[in-house]
Structure formats: structure tokens, C-alpha cells
Amino acid sequence: MNNLKLSALMLAMALPATQVMASDMPVDDSGRKDALHLWGVQFEELEYRYSDDDEELGVWNADAFYGTDELKFRWLGKGEYAIEEQAYETLENQLVLQTPISAFFDAKAGVRFDTPEGPDRTYGVLGVTGLAPQWFEVDANLYVSDEGDTSAALDAEYELLLTNHLILSAALDATVAFSEDEEIGVGKGLVSTETGLRLSYDLIDRALSPYVGVVHERKYGDTADFARAEGGSTEDWFAVIGARVAF
């Protein structure tokens, strides 16, 4: 475009032929002129959990992305597999598009598919994710289900460097429902919290970091009542062992 404009200008000015013509110049169609396209796959959690009432779970919290600084396509997956029951207590998959909205935060929009044991749900997702002051990694999402129920979830994580390889990370996930969805055991109000403390060691770069930790899960209010009625627990402590994986 600019080259065209320039050449037109030059012609109009009838410059001598010895001038370097902009139109003779190479146009940068090298990869350098394109936005960097990058990808990544990460398991923030990939772990075995053993509860205080002998429940065993296989748990993961993963994400994968492809895209540029300006727009990323991201898959987020979460699963809790009850080993004895051979059933998914939780199975979530989100597909979102992500774009920066400020220096440290991105907005996300997409869909979430929940297909655990029991009734399925599909949600529309709107969220922000990024780095808050004092190095808190924050992920906040608003969900609207295909049943018309709305809920919100906030995840926050903080890493404490005991050394440059030994890292203690604290994570808090909290879910709030703005309406009741009894079929999937969700009551209005604060639904549940999951608090985790994990001590990891970076074994191979930041690609493989085994960890041990404890996780506390709790249900609240009507959600807790629904769980009790089903004969489930409302509060669990887990010992966890696993690894953070990135590649």
C-alpha cells in the first residue's frame, strides 16, 4: 500500500531514473513480519488424591493454547475421576478465545461442556485471566448454563519460592451460583471451595515438576444439603501426589 503510494508520488514528481524506487524494494513477507504463532500445553495439576475417608481420585487441570499475543485459542480441561467407582465426579472441557484487555489481563469467551457421571450441562463462558499485583495469578469466570442458570468461579494462585527450584504454591478455587440447579446438586449462593497447598520441585526445567500436597474441598449451604441428601460428603481432606507438566 505504502509502496504504491510512494511510487505514485515519485512518478508525479518525475524524479530522475537514478532514484531508488520504492517499488523495487523487497517487501517483507518473511516470517518476521508475521505475528509469532505459538503453542503450549500445560498440566497445572496432574495428581492422585487420597481422601480422609479413603476415597481415591485421579485429578487433572490442564490447558493447551495456540495463537498470537492478540488472539489465542485455548482448551481448558478439568477432571476428577473416582477410581473405585470408575466414574467422573467432574469432567469439564472449555474452548475459549482469549485476547488482551490490559497490560496484565486477558478476556476469554467460549463454551464449557460438563460431561461427568450424571446430567450434562453446556455453559457459555465469559472470563478474565491474568496476573494481579503482588503476583497473584487470577482467573475469574462467569457461566450461563443451557438450563439458564448462572454461576461464577474465581481461581487464585500464589507461588512462594523456597528456593529457585523448590516452590510452595497455594491455590484457592471458589464457586458461587446465582440460581439453583438441583439436578446437578448446585444450590444458590456459595457452592464450594477447593484450597490446595503443593510443594513442587522443578526437576527438568519447568517441564516436569513433581509435587506433594494437601487439598481441602468443602461444599456450602444448599449445595451441602444436596450432597448430604445424596449420602455424599460435604468436606474432604486429600493428600495429593502428582506433577506439574509443561511442554
Partner 1 sequence: MTKSLVAGALGLLMPALALAGEYNISVDRVMIDTGDFVKEGIGYNGSSPGPVLRFKEGEDVTINVTNNLDEATSIHWHGLILPFDQDGVPGISFAGIPAGETFTYTFPVVQSGTYWFHSHSGFQEPNGAYGSIVIEPKGREPFRYDREYVVQLTDKHPHDAARVMRNLKMMPDYYNRKQQTVGDFFSDVSEHGFMNALSDRMAWGDMRMMKADVEDVQGFTGLINGKGPDQNWTGLFEPGERIRLRFINSSAMAYFDVRIPGLDMTVVQADGNNVQPVTVDEFRIGVAETYDVIVRPKTEEAFTIFAESMGRSGYARATLAPREGMEGPIPSLRDAPLLTMADMGGMHGMDHGSMDMGEDDMAGMDHSSMADDGMKSMGDNQMDHSSMAGMDHGSMMMSGNGAEDPFYAKGSGLVPTAANGGKFLSYADLKAQKPLYEDREPTREIELRLTGNMERYSWSINGVKYEDAEAIKLQYGERVRFKFVNETMMTHPMHLHGMWSILDTGAGKWNPVKHTISVQPGTTVFMETEVDAPGQWAFHCHLSYHAASGMFRKVVVEGGPDQGSNAGVKQEQVGGDV
Nearer to partner 1, 63 or 194 (CB): 63
Exposed/middle/buried for 213, CB within 10 Å: 0-12, 13-18, 19+? buried
Asked if 165 interacts with partner 1 (CB under 8 A), we say yes
Record the cell numbers describing residue 230, joined without a space: 445424596
Asked if 241 interacts with partner 1 (CB under 8 A), we say no
Asked if 93 interacts with partner 1 (CB under 8 A), we say no
The site that binds partner 1 (CB under 8 A) totals a number of residues, namely: 39
Asked if residue 119 lies in contact with residue 183, where contact means CB atoms within 8 angstroms, the answer is yes
Angstrom distances, CA of residue 129 to CA of 77, 109, 154, 197: 16, 11, 10, 21
Record the cell numbers describing residue 70, joined without a space: 492478540
Asked if 86 interacts with partner 1 (CB under 8 A), we say no
Asked if 162 interacts with partner 1 (CB under 8 A), we say yes
Q: Which residue stretch of 36-44, 81-89, 142-150, 181-189 sits at the interface with partner 1 (rule: CB under 8 A)?
A: 36-44
Asked if residue 210 lies in contact with residue 243, where contact means CB atoms within 8 angstroms, the answer is yes
| Single residue of 161, 203, 229, 239 touching partner 1 by CB under 8 A | 161
Nearer to partner 1, 165 or 228 (CB): 165
Chain positions 98 to 117 lying near partner 1, rule: CB under 8 A, are 100, 103-104
What distance in Å separates the CA atoms of residue 168 and residue 209, rounded to the nearest whole number? 12
Asked if 27 interacts with partner 1 (CB under 8 A), we say yes
| Single residue of 8, 25, 71, 101 touching partner 1 by CB under 8 A | 25
Asked if 133 interacts with partner 1 (CB under 8 A), we say yes
What distance in Å separates the CA atoms of residue 209 and residue 63, rounded to the nearest whole number? 16
What distance in Å separates the CA atoms of residue 44 and residue 33, rounded to the nearest whole number? 33
Chain positions 198 to 237 lying near partner 1, rule: CB under 8 A, are 205-206
How many helices (DSSP H) and strands (DSSP E) are in the chain?
2, 12
Q: How many residues does the chain have?
A: 247
Residue 83 backbone phi and psi in degrees, to 5:
-70, -40
What distance in Å separates the CA atoms of residue 195 and residue 186, rounded to the nearest whole number? 19
Nearer to partner 1, 6 or 212 (CB): 6
Query: Closest by alpha carbon to 216, among 199, 240, 200?
Result: 240
Nearer to partner 1, 60 or 105 (CB): 105
Nearer to partner 1, 58 or 77 (CB): 77
| Single residue of 4, 5, 8, 19 touching partner 1 by CB under 8 A | 19
Q: Which residues bind partner 1 (CB under 8 A)?
A: 2, 6, 18-20, 22, 25-36, 38-40, 42, 69, 100, 103-104, 131, 133-135, 160-165, 205-206, 246
